[in-house]
Each structure stands twice: as C-alpha cells, then as structure tokens.
Amino acid sequence: MARRKIIAGNWKMNMTPSQALKLVEELKPLVVNDDVDVVYCVPAIDIVPVVEAVKGTNVAVGAENMYVEDSGAFTGEISAPMLVDAGVKYVIIGHSERRDYFNEDDAFLNKKVIKAIEAGLTPILCCGESLEQRELGVTMDWIRLQIKSDLANVSADDVKNIVIAYEPIWAIGTGKTATSDQAEEVCKGIRELIAEMYDQATADAVRIQYGGSMNAGNAAELLAKPNIDGGLIGGASLKADFGKVVNYNK
C-alpha cells in the first residue's frame, strides 16, 4: 500500500497567538488536498487557539517540543498528556535546533519518543548531519547512530506509526536545499536501517519526510522520490506558499 504523504509546517518561534489565527485563516482555502495529511506544528502558546481555529478542516496540530514527565515540579515544561488534552496529534522530537541550542542528546530524545507514543502522540523524529559531517563522508553513520539511539526500546508496531524527518542541518533556513537525489539517498538509507532494526513491513510503513529549505518551487521534485513521504517545512510554512507545497501534485 502506498504511504500517504504528510506535509507539516514547523513554525518555530514565530507567530503570536493573534498572528497565528490570521495565518490559519489565510491558509484555510489553500491547504485543502485530500491526498495528503497536513499538520501545523506551532509554538506552545498558539496550540489552544490554533486547535480551535482548524476545527472542521483537514489540518491537524502538532507541538514543537514536550517534556518526558507527565506532571510535577518542572517549571516551564509542557507534558505529553497536556498536549493530548489540548487536541494535539503530533510532536516534533529532536529538531537540530533543540539538539544544538538546548543540548538535547539521544538518550533524552529516546525518552521523549517513548513518552509521546505512550500518550498517543505521533512523534516527528528529526535527524540530520552537519555540513562538516557530510564533507567527511559520515552522513549515514551519523544518522544511523541518531535513529538507533532515539528508537531504542520502541516496538515495530509503534515505529510503523511514527514519522521520521531527515533534515540536513546545512539546508535548514539557508535556502540551500539538498538535491532531490541527495535527499532520496538518505531517506532510502533510513528506510533500509528500519528494515534492518525491525523488518521490511515496518520499513515500508514508516513515513520519512525531507526538511530543509523545502518550498513551492522544489517540493514536487523532492516529493516525487520513492522514499520521500512528505516534508517538514519551516520558512515556507509561514506564508501562502505553504498551500502550494501541500498541493504539490495538482
């Protein structure tokens, strides 16, 4: 069975609640495409108003982060059960900005993946190499290490339902997209790794996105590749262009 494409916006630290509502309204008629799943991953403070604003549409809401405990003395954190109760369906885990700026390591990210699944959220697990790693020729070694560590003790049935986002760090927010062949090569390598860690049925089911300067101009070519099942889109998710990415096949 063909995997359903999933196009997710990653708003990052953009959009106040009132700006968020305006953007949701602007995008409403533009992001309709029955062939794909559409997700807006939004800042925590925008979650409640955006969940309300997308009611009755094809859009699901995701969080950009979460903590590994359910509740307690963790000032400033937000738990998986809180997200679920607010109507959130997805959560980005292990974005390179969180790995780099907030020192999130793979052992911690593994706990997040397990907690998100337990709570009923779909993790969008990010991985990706730096420019230095690509130039050293260790891209796939690095990504294999990330995925193996982040998915430790996660069952095949659970992995079938997660989303993996391949995001080369050098392509994020730089306007420098990986070529469709470069992106396909790594996404294929990730699928082969999942087959190795689990089995072919699991590898065939898991959805793998590409992210890094994806936009209306390059989405169709990237999404035509057999192992690229969607996109995680930063900059281009904050404007009308996102509608064109969602409708890449029209």
Residue with tokens 């659970």: 158
> Which residues are known catalytic residues?
95, 167
- The distance of closest approach from Cβ of residue 172 to ligand PGA in the complex, given in angstroms and rounded to an integer, is 4
Helix ranges, 123-229 (H): 131-136, 139-150, 156-161, 180-197, 200-205, 219-223
Which range, of 15-23, 104-112, 136-144, 205-213, touches ligand PGA by CB under 6 A?
205-213
57 DSSP 8-state letter: S
Is the separation of the CB atoms in 93 and 78 below 8 Å?
A: no
- The distance of closest approach from Cβ of residue 34 to ligand PGA in the complex, given in angstroms and rounded to an integer, is 24
Q: Is 62 in the site for ligand PGA (CB under 6 A)?
A: no
Q: Is 209 in the site for ligand PGA (CB under 6 A)?
A: no
CB atoms within 10 A of CB 64: 22
Q: Is 232 in the site for ligand PGA (CB under 6 A)?
A: yes
How many whole angstroms separate alpha carbon 179 and alpha carbon 166? 13
Q: Is 178 in the site for ligand PGA (CB under 6 A)?
A: no
Q: Is 214 in the site for ligand PGA (CB under 6 A)?
A: yes
Q: Is 163 in the site for ligand PGA (CB under 6 A)?
A: no
- The distance of closest approach from Cβ of residue 247 to ligand PGA in the complex, given in angstroms and rounded to an integer, is 17
Helix (H) or strand (E) holding 94: none
Q: Is 233 in the site for ligand PGA (CB under 6 A)?
A: yes
Q: If you count DSSP H runs as helices and E runs as strands, how many of each does the chain have, helices first?
A: 12, 8
Q: Is 230 in the site for ligand PGA (CB under 6 A)?
A: no
Residues facing residue 126 across a β-bridge: 165
Q: Contacting ligand PGA (CB under 6 A), which of 10, 33, 209, 227?
A: 10
The residues of the shown chain that bind ligand PGA, judged by CB under 6 A, are 10, 167, 172-173, 211-214, 232-236
